[in-house]
Amino acid sequence: MFIVLAILAFGIIIAIHELGHYISAKALGVKVNEFAIGMGPKLLKKQGKETLYSLRALPFGGFCSMEGEHEEGEDPDPRSFLSQKRWRRIVILAAGSVANFIAAFIIIFILTIGAEGFMGTTITGFLDGFPNEGPQGFMQGDTIVSINGERLFYRDDFRLLMQISRSDNVDITVLRNNEHVELRNILMQQREYEIDGETYMLYGLTFNFIENSFLESLKYSTYQTYSFIRMIRLSIVMMVSGGASIRDVSGPVGIVSAMNTIGQQTARENGIMAAIGSIVFFTTFIGINVAVLNLLPIPAMDGGRILFIFITWIIEKITRKRLDPKYEGYINTVAFVLLIGLMVLVLYNDVLREIRR
């Protein structure tokens, strides 16, 4: 059941992304030849006035095929993609990711509007044996502002930033009596604490409870969307700096497997409805992942194509000659081949992980 939900969720993420391209293209007068959900052979199709709408066999993908998207020709259609002004093309290319951001925000808001409240970052107390209590450490009433320079908004941010820290010694800024206090290189380790007869690994701090309201849900949804973007940024930095490798990257198979695992674990602990909610919440993170990665300045990705628009504008301003679109096509083709190779490698790692499990 959860595998089916996970596959469906992944398909919806791609559908939302491509829908963003489709709506913006239609709104700006660009001809869309086909809007497809999925890849591979067509299962269902319907010809509209000018657009073919299709549902394809493989749920991991989709596309919005616009007239003249990759080559303009000698007598271009005025409604083709490449015939549009630069700002219009940028809007269309960015619209897919924008759609994913908006969808994630809306889903998080729907999931949290009924919550009793959220845990903040103001310290309300300490568990027995906490080693860093006092004027040189933490004091009751302190609000944790940042960890290693990263801003905190809710308790979940504290957990995340502590988990990804490469050391137990971190730099923490707290707000104390309306003044910022710097706690440099302070040791923060998880310890075993017994609560209600059960043992937990905790840092020993307790935080304030923020009652929910309509405005608080809007605030939380905004910060959570930002937090997901930050998680992706930090992950990319870790890969570039060597803190993570390509083996840690998951593709569609790994993502569906992770969703299935989350669903099963949550169902055992809190029931089916909670499991579905967890899958939906995780889906928002994957949707934002898709949005951010597509905006990276990598050829063949939306961000790379946007970057090329700026580059061609600079070149044409300098040379006063129009740059042939075929050069962008060559670059995108090479990049696409490399991207397919990367996808195959990620798929191999995903399958290998599943076999080992």
CA gap 118, 126 in Å, rounded: 19
What is the pLDDT confidence band of residue 179, given thresholds at 50, 70 and 90? very high
- Residue 346 in this model has a pLDDT that exceeds 60: no
The arithmetic mean of pLDDT across residues 48-69, rounded, is 86
Average pLDDT of the chain is 82
The arithmetic mean of pLDDT across residues 52-67, rounded, is 86
pLDDT in the model for residue 332: 62
- Residue 122 in this model has a pLDDT that exceeds 90: yes
Q: If you ran DSSP here, which 8-state letter would residue 262 be given?
A: H
> Between residues 331 and 294, which one has the greater pLDDT?
294
The arithmetic mean of pLDDT across residues 107-124, rounded, is 93
88 alpha carbon, distance to own chain's centre: 25
The string of pLDDT tens digits covering residues 282-303 is: 888 888 988 998 898 887 788 9
The arithmetic mean of pLDDT across residues 113-128, rounded, is 92
- Residue 336 in this model has a pLDDT that exceeds 90: no
Structural domains in the chain plus CATH codes: 117-211 (2.30.42.10)
SS3 148: coil
pLDDT in the model for residue 209: 95
- Residue 245 in this model has a pLDDT that exceeds 60: no
Closest residue by Cα to residue 147 from 230, 220, 211, 218: 230
- Residue 281 in this model has a pLDDT that exceeds 90: no
Q: Are 137 and 205 a contacting pair, CB within 8 Å?
A: no
CA gap 339, 333 in Å, rounded: 10
Active-site entry in 18, 67, 69, 328: 18
The arithmetic mean of pLDDT across residues 114-125, rounded, is 93
SS3 183: strand
Q: Which of 107-111, 162-166, 179-183, 250-254 has the lowest mean pLDDT?
A: 250-254
SS3 49: coil
Percent above pLDDT 70 for the chain: 81
- Residue 47 in this model has a pLDDT that exceeds 60: yes
CA gap 307, 118 in Å, rounded: 39
- Residue 35 in this model has a pLDDT that exceeds 90: yes
Two tokens, residue 65: 């095929």
Q: Are 349 and 246 a contacting pair, CB within 8 Å?
A: yes
What is the pLDDT confidence band of residue 155, given thresholds at 50, 70 and 90? very high
- Residue 344 in this model has a pLDDT that exceeds 70: no
- Residue 351 in this model has a pLDDT that exceeds 60: no
The string of pLDDT tens digits covering residues 265-280 is: 777 777 787 778 788 8
Q: Is 18 a catalytic residue?
A: yes
Amino acid at 347: L
The arithmetic mean of pLDDT across residues 61-73, rounded, is 75
- Residue 342 in this model has a pLDDT that exceeds 60: no
Rg (CA), the chain: 24
pLDDT in the model for residue 107: 93
Strands (E), 70-190: 117-126, 143-147, 150-151, 169-176, 179-187
Residue with tokens 């080693």: 131
**CA-based max dimension of the chain:** 77
Highest-confidence segment of 13-17, 213-217, 282-286: 213-217
* Residue 195: C-alpha distances to residues 123, 141, 207, 262, 268 (Å): 18, 22, 16, 24, 21
CA gap 10, 190 in Å, rounded: 34
pLDDT in the model for residue 355: 58
Residue with tokens 């969808």: 103
